[in-house]
Every structure is written in structure tokens, then in C-alpha cells.
Structure 1
Amino acid sequence: METIKIGILGLGTVGSGVIRILRDHAEKISNITGRRLEVKTVVVHNLKKKRSVDLTGINLTDNADDVLCDDEIQMVVEVMGTVNTAKEYIERALKAGKHVITANKDLIATHGPELISLAKEHGCDLCYEASVAGGIPILRTIVNSFAADRIIEVRGIVNGTTNYIMTQMNKNGASYEDALESAQELGFAEADPTNDVDGIDAAYKMIILTQFAFGKDVTMDQVKVKGIRGIQKADIAEAKRLGYVIKLLGIAKLVNGHIDVSVGPVLVPQTQPLAAIQNENNAVVVTGSAVGETMFYGPGAGELPTANSVLSDITSVTKNIVMGTTGFSFNDYTNELELADDSEVVYPYYLSLQVLDKPGQMLKLTEIMTEYDASFRLITQTQMNDRFARVSMVTHEMSESQLNHIVEKLNELEEISVLAAYKVLPEK
């Protein structure tokens, strides 16, 4: 049986998992692909660091040229992270005729189209299943299982760190600060959690999902992004009382033939499956015009789940090599969609307001809502302190444009401050 030699850039959690699975499942992989897969060389930053995986028979180096300039190596796995350095290495690998597998969501979200074009130019495969939702094979599922369907919406929990934090707040009544500290202690959150808690990581993943589901390349500045900083225990409790759970969701949705992509806190009805996704797990709901709603659930990160997605790409590329069908894009679907206008994007909304506790304030609120042809479905008031009350309300459906005008108008008032304004998923 012929052998395909692999080079790996990076030997952190995922890289170690790739080597472990390749060794543990070697016989099965060979039976499926018709080739033996052998890791020849691994590039690391620190040669002296103690490793948790058996590297017997593998060359360990700190020089990327030992992989990129080795003609024996046909496939390069990039799991080193970063953007600029990883981009340079992947470009060099593709130009050298090597197939590339990466788990680098930041890179694919920002430079995916040009790397895909480069891969096609050189007849190489470029796959990145592990870049979204860790162990869930969501990208290949969209490409294969939804090929004949028209996808209407993709929404989901695509960041395990924020879902862990929101689980602690929703279930255990923890504050945001305490939940974040717990996530950091358990290794779910970085020392600098900005990318996770500000929704940036989730936005990168939604860019990739949007390209696969709708054939549309969107950029970071075209995604409406709001993180979970500032979510208050009072709003968690109010949402729960109303029958909702607050989750950080990514949503890509067709609206009047246009596409809208967003990341932000959303009130999810407790009766919907996404409300039950706990801790660091991810879940993606794909709605097709033919199949309806389907949900894909699993671990969003971790050594073996993410490595398993990398191995899925490795076996696919190996099969392509055997059949002589390399050089086709991971996803060839393209569609010239326009971005939806804010006036087209319609949801019910949850608003939380700090209101000076004196007569006439509710009249001002009602007048502003009426000015923009909006109304609320329910409203409650609780005392915050001697001076202020908290007013919480769920509106009837209105456009994002209406919401923006209302929030802007309310913030102009000295007596009223907007504490939160979140989408509400409708009951099914």
C-alpha cells in the first residue's frame, strides 16, 4: 500500500490530537482511503518543550522549510494559529503543490477567498472543517447534505467560551465576572478573553458558515456584532421569568432575498433545543426550504473532537488524491446576494431600561414607541433603588431600523437609559 506523508505546522492541543488519532486509527483510515498516512515532520516553536504525545519516528523541527520544501510531503496540516504567519506558510505550501488542511477560522474568515483561489490555481485541496464548531462536521454536511436544498437560515451557538459563561449565569445565577473567572480557571477562556466575549470569534465562524450556506462572501464589517459583556443578572432573571434563556447566537438569514448576518445575545424560548445547550458545547440549526429545521450538536473545541474534524479533511483529501480529483474547492457554491437593509430585518425585541422613578416616564416611552409605529407585547417594572426603576419589555415584531431609532431617541432622554436591547426568537 502506498504511503502519503504529512507535515504538521504546530503541536498544541489539536496537533497532538491529530497525531494521536492517526496512530490509534491507522488501520481503519487505511481501509477507507487505500493509503497509509504517515506524519513525517512536525514544526514547533520550542523544541525542548515536553510533549504529551508519542513522537517516535517523527522529525521534530523549528524550521518550517523542513515541511514546506520537502517534496516527499504531499499534505500540510496547519494548526499553529495566528493569521499572517499561517497565511504565509499556507501560500507557500499551495504554491509547492501541497494540499492543506487548517483549523484556522480567523485566517479563513479574513483571507479565505484568496487562499481558495490560490489552491485552485495550483490544483490543490484546501479544507477547513475544524474551523467552525470544533467536533461538529457542519461544513461538509452543508456542502453534501444540503446541496439540493435552499437554505433559509443558519443560527447557532458557535463559541464554547461564551456558552459556558452564559450557562453559569442562566443556571447558577453567577455574575458575568464570576462566570468569566470560572471559564478561565477551567481553561475555556483565555487570559485575554476579548475575541470570545466580544463576539469576534463567533463572527469569524458565521462568515464561514454564510459562505457555505448562502454562497456569499461577507466581511467582518458587514457582520453586526455584539458580545456578552454587560449582560446583567437582572436581565437573566427577567428572561427566565418570561420563559426564555439568553444565549450568544450567530444568525445568518435570508430576508426578502437578501442576507443578514449577526452575532449577539438573543432571548431563546426555553421550549427550543438551543436553550438546552449547556457549557462549552456548540449547536448549529440549519433551516432548509425542503427539509425544515435540523440541529447539529457537539463539542465546540477540545483536542480529540477538533482533531477528528481535521482527520475528516485528511481522509477526504487522501481519497481525492487516490481518485485524481484534487483541485476542486471545498465549497464551490457562490451567490450574488445583497445585504439586507435594517428595515427588512424583523424580530420581537427585549428592552431593559433604567428609568427615573417619577410620574410621566411611561408616557414618554409610549410616545417614542408610537412615533416609530412600534408596540410592546408585555411590560414590567421593578424597583432598582430609591431613585430608579427597571422597566423590562418584550415588543411585538418590528424592524431593526425601528429599534435603532427607538434606542437612539431613548438615550437622548436624561431620565431614561437603555441597559439592554436583544433579539427575541419567536416561539415555534
Structure 2
Amino acid sequence: MGKILNIGIIGVGTVGISVIKTLEENKEIICARTGVDIRVKKGVVRDLKKPRDLTIPLSTDIEDIINDKEIDVVVELMGGIEAAYEVAKKALTNQKALVTANKAMLAYHRYELQQIAGNAPIGFEASVCGGIPIIKALKDGLSANHILSLSGILNGTSNYILTQMIQNHQDFQSALHLAQKLGYAEADPTLDISGGDAGHKLLILASLAYGIDAKPQDILIEGIESINADDIEFANEFGYAIKLLGIAKKQNNQIELRVHPAMIDKNKMIAKIDGVMNGISVIGDRVGETLYYGAGAGGNATASAVISDLIEIARGKSSLMLGFEKSPQVSLKPKDAMESRYYFRLSVDDKSGVLAQIASILTQNNISIGTLLQKEIKHKNIAKILFSTHTTTERAIKNTIAQLQKLDSIIEKPYIIRIEDE
């Protein structure tokens, strides 16, 4: 074997260990495909006392990798945002290639890293949807296309929870606890269930597809915490599945970016993606729709994506830059201007005149009802009103909710889910 590519791994946890073991166990086939011997020279960990079945040297000092002139590639798997960004900057400044699985860091600092990198390769396939090669699809396979839209299930934890709620009739907390027990959800699951994790991933994909520079605080992000059995019943009644979707659309020169639960037609392929799996639909102006499906998380799936970047670097591919070229021709569509159909859940006093009050407020905001279900909880004198609207704007919905909350007959804050018909 001729050429050797030495790598250093910062953060030797589940993914890091899987990267090391995969490079060792699949060494023969990787060498055959690259003509390069990819070796892990060193790893950095927080705690040297923690038992690890590894033969590589370990350190607690990041500088041991950054300053090692024999290390060609730094693999950043430490997580977090600002500390990881500092590591990435140091690696690139020291003329080392960078491979990262860190979607949060890229969501905030992707364009800064692009400027720092110069000609140094940056691989980030593992940052979005684990083992699904969606980054390479956007950068290479679909590069002849204008991307009209992309939408997908970008977070396996929330998808697993929703699957349990819909298929096994569990409430949200029970489904969450099961996800934690099985290792699909962290002890603090906030980033997954709030939509934050999916938001980070969507921003990376939108940067590649459209050259839009947006941060998480700039886009609409909602989670799944408030979904209940009433919403699922309505969805089933009218042929919908509920999924947490990341959605990007180009309309003229405006880019619409949003993450939220959505009701989608049960017959759509993406509606059939259950459990911890991820799936992304991309529509190009030449190729039409393509769908990407696979494991979105887990040590082996993420390691597979990390190693695919290492293989490209080993092959000397020059196209491994971030690809985040800002486009002055596009701007972010304002949240209030977004349009959709909506599902409403209202809990109200079960008395005459309430429905008329609600209808009046809807009329004032030019919102019309599409379908309606009404349920009575007799022993509590509460009525549940579940309905969908025709297409309207986010601004009109916000105004409607604010007005509804002022009614004495409204018992709980109105809850909405967007309906995606396209």
C-alpha cells in the first residue's frame, strides 16, 4: 500500500468508536476502493479513565491533534457549537482537512468556515440524516437541477415518538419515555422534540440548495410536544399521517424555510416512513422528485457517512468544499407571509353561541372551514372542536388565535397543525 492518510478524532464516543472499528474491520475494501491506507493516529476524549476497547493512543488535549504535523484530517465529533467551531477553525488554519458530523455548529457557522477553509476540504455528510447520502445528492447528483423544494423527516427520535402515538395509541410522555429507554432519545430530549435538531439540518440543506444564509432563530420551528389523541383521531378520520417535517421551498426569489408537525396524505411515500428512520423528498426542475430513505442516527450509520467523507479526501476530490455559496438573488420569506391549510383544536365551554363566536372571528380574518369534527365531554361540559381551514396565511392564523384566546369560552390555548397538500 502506498499513500497513508492519517486522521485524528476529537470526541471518541459512540460514533467515534464506530468510525475506528469500521476503518479497522473494513480496511481491505476501503483500501481497494481508494488506494489509500486510512489510519486513525490519535483520539481525544474528555475522560481517559472511561473503558474503551481501542488500540489507538488517546489524549485529553485537543492540541495534540491540531499540532501534530503528521495528521492530515481532523474528525470533529465532540458536539456543541462554539467550542466545536473553535476546533474547526484551528484545524483549517493548520491546513488540515476537516470532517464533522456537527449540524448545530454548521447551522450557525457554516459560512464562516467556508471562508476560513480556503482550499482545505470540509466533509459534513454525517451532519444531516446519518447514513443517508443527501449532502452528496444535493452537491453532486442533483447539481444540474434548480431545487424547487425539499421536505423530509429529519429527526428519528420525533418520528419514533409519533409512530408510537399513532400506531400504538400511546400518549406523548409514554412514547417519549419508551424512546429514552431504547436509547433513541437523550435524557434531555429538548432539541429533538422541539424541532431544533431538524431545524439545524434543514438550514444546512437549504444552504446547499439555495445559497440562503439563515440562522435557526430566523425560521419557523415548532415541535411535537403538544400533539394528542384528538389530533391523531382527526388525522385518521380524514386520511392524514402526522409527521415532523423540515420544509424548504423556492418561490420566485424567496426561500420558505420551516420545521413543524404536518398532516400529510397517508398515501404519500414520506407518510409511510415510521420508527427512527429518516426520509427526504427533493424535487428538481429536471429530475422531478427523488426520495432518500435510511437510518438517520446511530453509531454505524453516522460512521458510514464520516468515512465516506474520508474516502473522498483520500481520493483527492476537490469538490469536498462546503458548497455554501451565498446567493444575493434570494431572500428568506417572512414567517407571517407563509401560506398553508391549517388544522385547529379548540377546547370550549359546551354552551350555545360559542360556535357562532368562533365563526365570527374566523370570518373577520378571512378564514373558511374545510372539515369539522365536534366531540362532547359531557361530565365536564366541555366540547372539543376540531376543524381544518382552506389556505390562509400565517399572519391570519396568529391574529385568529390571539382573538380566540380572549373569549371566556375558550378553555385551552388553541392548537394548530399545518396541512401539507402538495
Smaller-chain TM-score range? Answer: over 0.9
TM-score, with structure 2 as normaliser: 0.95
Contact 1:255 / 1:344 at 8 angstroms: preserved in 2? no
Q: 1:338 aligns with which of 331, 354, 361?
A: 331
Deviation at 1:332, TM superposition (A): 4.6
The aligned residue for residue 125 of structure 2 is 129
In 1: Cα distance, 2:400 partner to 2:183 partner? 40
The alignment status of 1:266 with 2:262, answered yes or no, reads yes
Q: Give the letter aligned to residue 98 of structure 2.
A: V
Tell me by how many angstroms 1:304 deviates: 0.8
**Equivalent position of 1:350 in the other structure:** 343
Deviation, structure 1 residue 395: 1.0
Partner of residue 247, structure 1: 243
Contact 1:133–1:282, Cα closer than 8 Å, also in 2: yes
Task: Please state how far the C-alpha of 1:34 moved relative to its aligned partner.
Answer: 2.1
What residue number does 1:398 align with? 392
2:16 and 2:377 mapped to 1: Cα distance? 51
Structure 1 partner of 2:177 = 181
**CA contact under 8 A between 1:256 and 1:344: conserved in structure 2?**
no
Q: Deviations 1:253-290 (Å, cap 9, x if unpaired)? A: 12343111111111111111121111111111111122
Q: TM-score, normalised by structure 1?
A: 0.94
Runs of 4+ aligned residues of structure 1 deviating over 3 Å after TM superposition are 341-344
* 2:226 alignment partner, SS class: coil
Q: How many equivalent residue pairs?
A: 418
Where 2:255 maps in the other structure, the secondary structure is strand
2:140 & 2:326 partners in 1: Cα distance? Answer: 15
8 A contact 2:114–2:324 mirrored in 1: no
Relative to structure 1, is the Cα distance of residues 165 and 47 closer, same or farther in structure 2, using a 3 angstrom cutoff? same
Task: Tell me how far apart the structure 1 counterparts of residues 209 and 340 of structure 2 sit (CA, whole Å).
Answer: 22
> Does the CA-based 8 Å contact 2:220-2:335 persist in structure 1?
no
Aligned counterparts of 1:421 and 1:129: Cα–Cα separation in 2? 34
**Offset at residue 117 of structure 1 (A):** 1.0
Alignment equivalent of 2:199, drawn from 171, 195, 203: 203
Distance 1:118 1:360 in 2: 63
Distance 1:35 1:126 in 2: 18
Asked whether the equivalents of residues 342 and 399 of structure 1 are also in contact (C-alpha less than 8 Å), the reply is no
Instruction: Identify which of 225, 235, 238 aligns with 2:234.
Output: 238
Amino acid at match of 2:370: R
Please tell me whether the aligned partners of residues 234 and 373 of structure 2 are also in contact (alpha carbons under 8 angstroms): no
Secondary structure of 2:7's aligned partner: strand
Counterpart residue identity of residue 196, structure 2: I
Aligned partner (choices 20, 40, 61) of residue 59 of structure 2: 61
Question: 1:85: how far off?
Answer: 2.2
Q: Which amino acid aligns with 1:393?
A: F
CA drift at 1:333? 4.0
Contact 2:279 2:293 in 1 (8 A): yes
Q: Give the Cα separation in 2 of the matches to 1:332 and 1:132.
A: 15
Question: Which of residues 338, 344, 364 is equivalent to 2:357?
Answer: 364
Give the counterpart letter for 2:202 in structure 1. Answer: M
Determine helix, strand or coil for the equivalent of 2:395: helix
In the aligned structure 1, how far is the partner of 2:219 from the partner of 2:130?
A: 21
| Separation in 2, partners of 1:141, 1:222 | 26
User: Matched residues in 2 for 1:344 and 1:264: separation?
Assistant: 16
C-alpha distance in 2 between matches for 1:418 and 1:353: 8
Q: Which residue is equivalent to 1:423?
A: 418
3-state secondary structure, aligned to 1:71: coil
**Cα shift at 1:344:** 4.1
- The unaligned stretches of length 5 or more in structure 1 are none
Q: 1:349, 1:394 within 8 Å by CA — same for their partners in 2?
A: yes
Look up the match of 2:408: 414
**Are the equivalent residues in 2 in contact too, given 1:222–1:261 (CA < 8 A)?**
no
| Aligned residue number for residue 257 of structure 1 | 253
Q: CA deviation at 1:330?
A: 2.6
More displaced stretch, 401-410 vs 98-107: 401-410
Q: Aligned to 1:271, what secondary structure does the other structure show?
A: coil
Structure 2: tracts of 5 or more residues without a match: none
- 1:251 Cα deviation (Å)? 0.9
Alpha-carbon displacement from aligned partner over 1:130-173 (angstroms, at most 9, x marks no partner): 01111111011111111111111111111111111111101100
Q: What is the rounded CA distance, in whole Å, between the counterparts of 2:371 and 2:180 in structure 1?
A: 37
Matches of 1:387 and 1:198 in 2, distance apart? Answer: 32
Partner of 1:40: 41
| Cα displacement (A) at 1:23 | 1.3
1:82 is displaced (CA, Å) by 2.0
- Taking only aligned residues, the RMSD between alpha carbons, in angstroms, comes to 1.6
Question: More displaced, 331-340 or 137-146?
Answer: 331-340
Distance 1:404 1:290 in 2: 37
The one-character-per-residue Cα deviations of 1:345-398 (angstroms, maximum 9, x if unpaired) are 221111111121111111112222221222111111001343210101111111
Which residue in the other structure is 1:215 paired with? Answer: 211
How far apart in 1 are the matches of 2:76 and 2:335? Answer: 38
In structure 2, the partner of 1:113 is 111
**3-state DSSP class of the match of 1:47?**
coil
> Sequence identity of aligned pairs in percent?
37
SS of the residue aligned with 1:295?
strand
User: Which whole-Å CA distance do the structure 1 matches of 2:228 and 2:393 have between them?
Assistant: 25
The correspondence of residues 285-324 of structure 1 with structure 2, limited to 5 A, is: 285-320=281-316
Q: C-alpha distance in 1, partners of 2:213/2:384?
A: 41
